[in-house]
């Protein structure tokens, strides 16, 4: 039994830590529905063109990902999500008020 003691302690800690981290990560996270629009990066800074199509509508932030619909570089966010339809599109994709996926 002694030879298993350290191992058992490690197992207990590992399971406890992973459960605790998982609980903390998901604690009180409300699900918000976002509508997603493609960002056009042919213009420096990126813009969401007027009349842009809603790429993924009524998908929660958990379901939609920044890569959906992206065919270019993997490291740029090519979708921007808005809860509801915004009255005017931002002129830069890094607008501070733009929620990032």
Partner 1 sequence: MIFIVRNNCTMRKLLTEQFLIELIASLFILLFLYTGLSKLNEQEEFQIVLSKSPLLATSASVLSWLLPIIEIVTSVLLFLPRTRKYGLAASMLLMALFTLYISYMLLFTPSLPCSCGGVLKQMNWSQHLVFNIFFLLLSILALWLSNKNKLFIAINRNSRTPVEESRH
7 in contact with partner 1 (CB under 8 A): yes
10 in contact with partner 1 (CB under 8 A): yes
Phi and psi of 36, rounded to 5°?
Answer: -110, 140
100 in contact with partner 1 (CB under 8 A): no
Phi-psi region of 70 (alpha: psi -120 to 50; beta: other; left: phi over 0): beta
Phi and psi of 4, rounded to 5°?
Answer: -95, -5
31 in contact with partner 1 (CB under 8 A): no
Q: How far is the CB of 24 from partner 1 (least distance, A)?
A: 10
Among the listed residues 85, 77, 82, the one whose alpha carbon sits nearest the alpha carbon of residue 98: 82
18 in contact with partner 1 (CB under 8 A): yes
Q: How far is the CB of 88 from partner 1 (least distance, A)?
A: 30
Sites of contact with partner 1 (CB under 8 A): 3-4, 6-7, 9-11, 13-15, 17-18, 21-22, 25, 65, 67, 74-75
């Amino acid at each position: 039994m002694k030879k298993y003691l350290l191992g058992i302690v490690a197992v207990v800690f590992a399971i406890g830590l992973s459960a605790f981290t998982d609980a903390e990560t998901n604690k009180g996270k409300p699900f918000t529905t976002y509508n997603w629009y493609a960002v056009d990066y042919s213009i420096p800074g990126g813009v969401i063109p007027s009349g842009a199509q809603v790429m993924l509508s009524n998908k929660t932030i958990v379901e939609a990902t920044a890569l959906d619909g992206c065919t270019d570089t993997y490291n740029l966010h090519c979708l921007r999500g808005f809860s509801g339809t915004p009255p005017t599109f931002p002129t830069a994709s890094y607008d501070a008020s733009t929620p990032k996926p």
